[in-house]
Amino acid sequence: MNRFLIFSLTTCCLLLPWSRFASADEAKPTKEAAIKVLAAFASALEANDVEKAWKYLYISAKIKDQEMKIKEDFKKRLPKILQSDISKKGVEILAKKGKWGKLPEIVGEKEAQGLTKMVGLTASSCFGLFATARGGAAFYWTGKEWRLIYFNNIAHLAGNPKLH
């Protein structure tokens, strides 16, 4: 019995550090994690929960002082946003058919700089998932989680027969 206890403790001590490495991998910026954020964002918006959806967005220090006004404008435009810009079905199509990678590699350097300049980030620090030239999303990895910096025409992807 004593040997079993020693073996168990030794095994436990050897495996614990490996379990930390495994959980650290889960915090890496992956396409799958970005898609989960985009899907949660779409679900929150479809439920008219702008407060919950807002937590998935990257809010630049440049606009912090205007955030409340921007959020109110966003709420007013929500029906139009859901009609063309984001939907759960569109996110499903984007997840299957979209091209993923560093933002400049996906949309080109000039376009990437335009998208990221608005939020005060560098193009090389962001990632993109796009199924068409303007149908997709851009993300920023904070070091802990994905934040959405751009989304456009994702709802229209569901109606595009070329993507089915």
Per-residue pLDDT of 110-132, as tens digits, reads 999 999 998 999 999 999 999 99
Average pLDDT over all residues of the chain: 85
Q: Are strands 136-141 and 146-152 parallel, antiparallel or unpaired?
A: antiparallel
Q: Is residue 17 part of a domain?
A: no
Q: Which amino acid is at 160?
A: N
CA-CA distances (angstroms) from residue 136 to 5, 24, 30, 64, 76?
55, 28, 16, 25, 22
Does 3 fall in a domain?
A: no
Provide mean pLDDT across the span 89-112. Answer: 97
Residue 151 lies in a domain: yes
3-class SS at 112? helix
**Helix and strand element counts for the chain (H, E):** 8, 4
User: Is residue 14 in some structural domain?
Assistant: no
- To the nearest whole percent, how much of the chain has pLDDT over 70? 84
Position 126 in a domain: yes
The mean per-residue pLDDT over the stretch 25-49 comes to 89
Output 25 or 90, whichever has higher pLDDT. Answer: 90
Q: Cα–chain-centroid distance for residue 56?
A: 7
15 within domain boundaries: no
Specify if 120 maps to a domain: yes
Number of structural domains found in the chain: 1
Between 57 and 22, name the one with better pLDDT: 57
If pLDDT is split at 50, 70 and 90, which confidence band does 104 have?
very high
Q: Which domain holds residue 143?
A: 28-163
pLDDT in tens, 74-88: 999 999 999 999 999
126-130 and 136-141 beta bridge pairing: antiparallel
| Closest of 116, 102, 132 to residue 62, by C-alpha | 116
**pLDDT for position 13:** 37
pTM of the model: 0.81
> What's the CA gap between 164 and 161, in Å, rounded?
5
CA–CA separation, 87 vs 112, rounded Å? Answer: 23
Query: In the prediction, which pLDDT does 27 show?
Result: 57
Q: For 24-35, how does the pLDDT look when each residue is reduced to its tens digit (9 = 90+)? A: 444 578 999 999
Task: At 128, give phi and psi (nearest 5°).
Answer: -135, 155
pLDDT greater than 90 at residue 1: no
Q: What is the pLDDT of residue 2?
A: 38
CA distance 154 to 30: 20
Give a yes or no: residue 118 inside a domain. Answer: yes
